[in-house]
């Protein structure tokens, strides 16, 4: 039984490192990276109803589920290309010969990221370390025959970045098999496992992750088994207490079915930005988190779009957990690398203006199609994109308390496909500092 008062008594944290982090890197890598196939349909949240969404799921990491939906394009692809082979065959075929975790971490650091969160167990139930109770169904005993979580953790911390772990507590299609999930109700309620035995299994995994790898982010997904909402041995409450005790600067997301949270998450276009709470948007550079060989440049964000996405989130008080989906061999797709390198060029100049800033939101400026503002140490920084040409900003409205320099400001915009440029405006003389 859930002891709400004890969950309410858990600490709620916003450590300085997370408050000052505009960008994190998500990594979705698994056996699903071998077939690497999904129908590139639309971003989550861009379709009003989930009717048909799961049969046409653009998330390649959901391959195990999508191929079991009769008549889905993924089911047809799986039969034609893989002869209807068992999903676990992909675990044995997963051989990351080109995996270089140090090179990954260096790229993420240069992109301006402060933290890295790899998947340790996705909904297929395959763990990327030798997790307790998994037998040989993990990457140490089969397939890669490597502790991928450990290697990513070491490379991440060696690069001076914070390390976190993603874990699917709400679904495990191997340990708790179900009929194919075909609706949001299936995922969030009807077919989600609720029993304490499964919850204890998950709790043992996450405790092992905490003790082995010292993560600073515990990023759960799809809720948690309801009967495990207790503080006895193996319960979620005991697990969260252990995490906070071991990781004084650690924090957790909001995907524990309401048990506890330190920050709110949105995903692609789905979810609401919370009022007055820390939040994070997660999304892939393309339409999928896991690598999808079908995607091309028309589905991927350009470097400029990735920059604008990060600036937009920060201007509204949030941050972005931007996902990479490596190929099975451990290489990062070129379009993903290109976007991260463009982010890095921008962040090298402007991260200091974003980190720890106060978001001032969107601005309407004549002649400019996109404008976002933040405040940093008494200065308003405005980021602008628009059609190529010179624009005068002197008559444009700024947030209350700031004004353009007396000599005026003109900017040369480089075009809609270019990264935004930044201009600054000091606080108006006599204006009170804003918190």
User: Do residues 57 and 160 both lie within one domain?
Assistant: yes
User: Do residues 376 and 343 both lie within one domain?
Assistant: no
Paired tokens of 132: 């307790």
pLDDT of the chain, 435 residues: tens digit per residue: 677 889 999 999 999 999 999 999 999 999 999 999 999 999 999 987 777 899 999 999 999 999 999 999 999 999 999 999 999 999 999 999 999 999 999 999 999 999 999 999 999 999 999 999 999 999 999 999 999 999 999 999 999 999 999 999 999 999 999 999 999 999 999 999 999 999 999 999 999 999 999 999 999 999 999 999 999 999 999 999 999 999 999 999 999 999 999 999 999 999 999 999 999 999 999 999 999 999 999 999 999 999 999 999 999 999 999 999 999 999 999 999 999 999 999 999 999 999 999 999 999 998 899 999 999 999 999 999 999 999 999 888 899 899 988 777 889 998 988 999 999 998 886 555 444
User: Do residues 350 and 362 both lie within one domain?
Assistant: no
Which DSSP category does 419 fall into?
P
Residue 431: predicted pLDDT: 52
Residue ending a domain, choose from 297, 322, 354:
354
User: Do residues 77 and 122 both lie within one domain?
Assistant: yes
Range of the domain at 13: 4-354
| Number of domains into which the chain is organized | 2
User: Do residues 345 and 294 both lie within one domain?
Assistant: yes
Residue 430: predicted pLDDT: 52
Residue 406: predicted pLDDT: 75
CB count within 10 Å of CB 51 equals 11
Residues 6+ away with beta carbon under 8 Å from 226? 2, 194, 257
User: Do residues 130 and 192 both lie within one domain?
Assistant: yes
Residue 72 inside a domain? The answer is yes
User: Do residues 247 and 123 both lie within one domain?
Assistant: yes
User: Do residues 366 and 418 both lie within one domain?
Assistant: yes
Measured CA to CA, the distance from residue 315 to residue 327 in angstroms comes to 33
Measured CA to CA, the distance from residue 30 to residue 350 in angstroms comes to 34
Residues 6+ away with beta carbon under 8 Å from 402? 375, 380, 425, 426, 427, 428, 431
Length of the chain: 435
In the chain, the percentage of residues whose pLDDT exceeds 90 is: 89
User: Do residues 127 and 18 both lie within one domain?
Assistant: yes
Residue 131: predicted pLDDT: 98
User: Do residues 381 and 303 both lie within one domain?
Assistant: no
Measured CA to CA, the distance from residue 38 to residue 61 in angstroms comes to 8
User: Do residues 250 and 288 both lie within one domain?
Assistant: yes
Residue 427: predicted pLDDT: 86
Measured CA to CA, the distance from residue 306 to residue 417 in angstroms comes to 11
Measured CA to CA, the distance from residue 192 to residue 201 in angstroms comes to 15
User: Do residues 192 and 321 both lie within one domain?
Assistant: yes
Measured CA to CA, the distance from residue 222 to residue 245 in angstroms comes to 24
Q: Which helix (H) or strand (E) element contains residue 364?
A: none
Q: What is the pTM of this model?
A: 0.96
- Residue at token pair 């082995």: 212
Residue 435 inside a domain? The answer is no
Q: Where are the alpha helices (DSSP H) in 20-88?
A: 63-66, 73-82
């Amino acid at each position: 039984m859930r002891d709400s008062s004890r969950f309410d008594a858990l600490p709620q944290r916003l450590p300085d490192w997370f408050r000052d982090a505009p960008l994190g890197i998500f990594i979705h890598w698994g056996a699903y990276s071998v077939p690497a196939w999904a129908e590139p349909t639309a971003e989550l949240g861009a379709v009003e109803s989930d009717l048909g969404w799961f049969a046409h799921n653009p998330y390649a990491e959901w391959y195990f589920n999508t191929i079991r939906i009769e008549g889905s394009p993924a089911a047809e692809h799986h039969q034609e290309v893989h002869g209807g082979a068992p999903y676990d065959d992909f675990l044995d075929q997963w051989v990351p010969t080109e995996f270089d975790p140090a090179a990954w971490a260096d790229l993420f650091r240069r992109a301006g990221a402060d933290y890295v969160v790899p998947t340790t167990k996705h909904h297929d139930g395959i763990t990327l370390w030798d997790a307790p109770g998994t037998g040989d169904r993990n990457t140490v005993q089969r397939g890669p025959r490597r502790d991928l979580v450990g290697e990513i953790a070491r490379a991440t911390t060696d690069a001076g970045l914070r390390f976190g772990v993603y874990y699917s507590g709400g679904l495990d299609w191997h340990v708790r098999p179900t009929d194919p999930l075909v609706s949001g109700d299936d995922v969030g309620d009807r077919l989600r496992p609720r029993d304490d035995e499964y919850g204890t299994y998950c709790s043992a995994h996450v405790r092992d992750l905490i003790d082995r790898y010292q993560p600073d982010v515990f990023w759960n997904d799809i809720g948690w088994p309801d009967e495990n909402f207790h503080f006895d041995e193996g319960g979620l409450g005991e697990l969260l207490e252990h995490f906070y005790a071991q990781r004084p600067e650690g924090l957790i997301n909001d995907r524990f079915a309401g048990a506890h949270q330190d920050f709110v998450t949105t995903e692609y276009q789905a979810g609401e930005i919370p009022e007055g709470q820390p939040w994070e948007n997660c999304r892939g550079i393309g339409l999928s988190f896991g690598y999808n060989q079908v995607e091309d440049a028309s589905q991927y964000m350009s470097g400029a779009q990735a920059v604008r996405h990060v600036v937009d989130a920060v201007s509204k008080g949030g941050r972005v957990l931007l996902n990479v989906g490596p190929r099975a061999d451990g290489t990062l797709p070129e379009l993903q690398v290109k976007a991260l390198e463009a982010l890095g060029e921008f962040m090298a100049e402007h991260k200091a203006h974003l980190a720890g800033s106060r978001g001032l939101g969107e601005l309407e400026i004549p002649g400019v199609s996109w404008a976002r503002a933040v405040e940093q140490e008494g200065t308003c920084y405005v980021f602008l994109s628009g059609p190529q040409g010179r624009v005068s900003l002197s008559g444009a409205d700024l947030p209350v308390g700031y004004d353009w320099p007396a000599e005026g400001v003109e900017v040369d915009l480089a075009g809609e496909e270019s990264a935004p440029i930044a201009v600054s405006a000091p606080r108006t003389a006599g204006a009170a500092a804003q918190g």
